[in-house]
Chain A
Amino acid sequence: MNENLNFHRRGELADSAFRYATVAAGGIVLISLSAIAITMTKRAWPAFDKMGLDFFTTSRWAPNDNVFGAKAFIFGTLMAAAIALVIAVPVSIGIALFTTQVAPTKWRRPIVYLVDLLAVVPSVVFGLWGVLVFAPSATGFYNTLHDVLGPIPGLGDLFGEASSGRNIFTAGLILSVMITPIVSSLAREVIDTCPESDREAAFALGATRWEMIRGSVLPHAKGGLVGAVMLGLGRAMGETIAVALVIGSSANISANLFSSGDALPAVIANQWGEAEGDYRAALIGLAVTLFAITILINVAANTIVSRSIVKTQGAR
């Protein structure tokens, strides 16, 4: 009898021990995220303290003079990410619509696999290809674009001369390839929540396939698609190594898409090795800025995506 009780008690202990282990594992996520925010901000404080708001609003980055203005890097990050979105969003939504609405069911899996292969290629391999193969051969094409579009007032400012293939546009182009898998897979998920009955209703009213997509699928998916695009934006802004290799690395604000620039993560990766003291704090400051921006975008995007899925499909 006594032995039986002991056995019972041991099992109960093991059971609650396991339960607490899982809680602790979940807690690690919470702890590590807050640890990142706190320790990084603390380390970056000397730079923030010294530069104040000038850290974000001036663009002179001169470590030798202890002057750190990150505006040009923030600009480059946003610019490259914007180019990436302009290219990747229509393509990704096109892929998602093709796989869910057009392609026969048996094609679906191969297409998804193929697009997902892009996500398997490491960032640094894209960077290597970009810097050694793509950038050198793209310069001529960029300058042709400049010759054609350059004289147009307004638009011409965007298509200036390309002195090298390593520029913001190349970075944006490579980023667009890198974010396509995530944006298209999220878009697919959101589009899939459109009820079959809505699609059939549109067809029954005599809609063509495109009219059905415009009338039934896209209105359903709108919110989720916005979220998917924002997640892509977050990814594009945080992408480091490929951008570091192809963006041209110069603190430069210009409307010309074909001019070299620099982005927050690329600056950190390229300059960390040589940094000391305040310089180091300033680079950590860049990381904090990047962290804050990407977290904000991710929080907003995830909220939008999960809301829209709940709205169209009911809570899971």
Chain B
Amino acid sequence: MAAVAAPATRAREITNFAATRDRRAFVSTLMTSLMALSVLAVLVPLGAVLYTVVSKGASVLSIDFLTKDIPVVSRSVGPGMGPAIFGTLLITAIASVMALPVGILGAIYLNEYSAGGRLGKLVRFLATVMTGVPSVVMGLFVYITYTLRYKQNAFGGSLALAFLMLPIIIRSTEEMLKLVPNNLREASAALGCRKSRTILGVVLPAALPGVVSGCLLAIARAAGETAPILFVVGAANAVNSNPFKGVNTALSAQIFANATQPFVGAQQRAWGAALTLLTLAFLATMIARMITARFAFKR
């Protein structure tokens, strides 16, 4: 029979236990508060950047700013970002027209046709890797293969952005197709539909909200890309509506060019352009989130 501890030892054990318990609880609380703190730590730069852009940009923003041409002399004070806004919309729109169908078809291949095959696995892997290709590399690639022959123009920028969007669209669309329940496909097949008809008529419509929101996020990210624009689009001060001829410009490139200017006027235009670009990107993101929250399949 085990000896019962002397009352003194027993008391020490109990206090020891209490001390350990307190220490453990303290460590746990400490780590938990560190985790909470890291969430707060992210809000600081986010808040600082948003606050500066909004406060500095809002004083510049006006109808004139959104529509007038960019001053040729960067020293001059006053509005004009019209051509850059037009350029951003034009370049991003053409890029989307190219990247969306290819990306969605690619995702359909991965999820509906490849069936765990080797090519499918390779393509999926490469698409994931391709999301990590730096935009500056993509810009130079388009410069070498396109711009050297056809000169700087808006379409080159669209090509570069399309390459950057493509893997993101493939991956996000595939995730959405995965969420479509299999019995929808089986029901369609049981009714005698061919596979292509099942996909286009049943699977894709079912996944559409998620697909649309994924694409919007990809577009929002592409609209802010700068490096490729610098190389393959060039710089312009007036609106150029021909994507295949002549240099063009975009908001991101204008922000970059004006950020390093010592002149107040140029810096003001940079802040205004930043606010415009940020607003466009946030709008696209918000719409995407609303679509997902309302209509998309949930995990």
A29–B277 contact, CB under 8 A?
no
Q: Which of B73-114 contact A (CB under 8 A)?
A: 101-106, 108-110, 112-114
Q: How many A-B residue pairs have CB under 8 A?
A: 263
Over the window 279-295 of chain A, the binary record of Cβ atoms lying under 8 Å from chain B Cβ atoms (1 yes, 0 no) is 00001100100110011
- Asked if A32 is at the interface (CB within 8 A of a chain B CB), the reply is yes
Of B7-15, B130-138, B237-245, the one contacting chain A is B130-138
Q: How many residues of B contact A (CB 8 A)?
A: 91
Cα distance A284–B109 in the bound complex, in angstroms? 34
B277–A265 contact, CB under 8 A?
no
* CB neighbours of B281 from chain A (8 A): 120-122
Cα distance A302–B35 in the bound complex, in angstroms? 26
- Asked if B213 is at the interface (CB within 8 A of a chain A CB), the reply is no
* CB neighbours of B184 from chain A (8 A): none
Contact of B277 among A36, A39, A98, A122 (CB under 8 A): A122
Cα distance A210–B119 in the bound complex, in angstroms? 43
With A30-B123, A234-B132: A98-B36 Cβ-Cβ less than 8 Å: yes
A95–B42 contact, CB under 8 A?
yes
Closest CB-CB distance, B228 to chain A, in whole Å? Answer: 10
Over the window 23-61 of chain B, the binary record of Cβ atoms lying under 8 Å from chain A Cβ atoms (1 yes, 0 no) is 011011011101111110111011011101100000000
With A209-B32, A241-B256: A30-B274 Cβ-Cβ less than 8 Å: no
With A15-B196, A122-B226: A102-B36 Cβ-Cβ less than 8 Å: yes
Cα distance A111–B46 in the bound complex, in angstroms? 13
A26–B35 contact, CB under 8 A?
no
CB nearest neighbor in A for B27: A210
Contact of A211 among B28, B140, B197 (CB under 8 A): B28
Closest CB-CB distance, A29 to chain B, in whole Å? Answer: 5
Cα distance A133–B271 in the bound complex, in angstroms? 11
* CB neighbours of A131 from chain B (8 A): 259-260
Cα distance A180–B39 in the bound complex, in angstroms? 11
B24–A238 contact, CB under 8 A?
no
Query: What are 7 residue pairs bridging A and B, where the CB atoms are less than 8 Å apart in the complex?
Result: A15-B195, A102-B36, A113-B289, A123-B224, A133-B52, A241-B226, A287-B140
Pick the 6 closest A-B CB pairs, nearest first.
A122-B224, A238-B134, A94-B38, A25-B105, A22-B109, A208-B28
- Which residues of A line the B interface, CB within 8 A? 11-12, 14-15, 18-19, 21-30, 32-33, 35-36, 39-40, 43, 90-95, 97-99, 101-102, 111, 113-115, 117-129, 131-134, 177, 180, 208-211, 213, 231, 234-235, 237-241, 244-245, 265, 268-269, 272-273, 283-284, 287, 290-291, 294-295, 297-299, 302
9 more A-B residue pairs beyond the given contacts A40-B141, A133-B48, A209-B28, with a C-beta to C-beta distance below 8 A: A23-B113, A25-B105, A29-B167, A98-B32, A120-B221, A129-B48, A245-B260, A287-B137, A294-B133
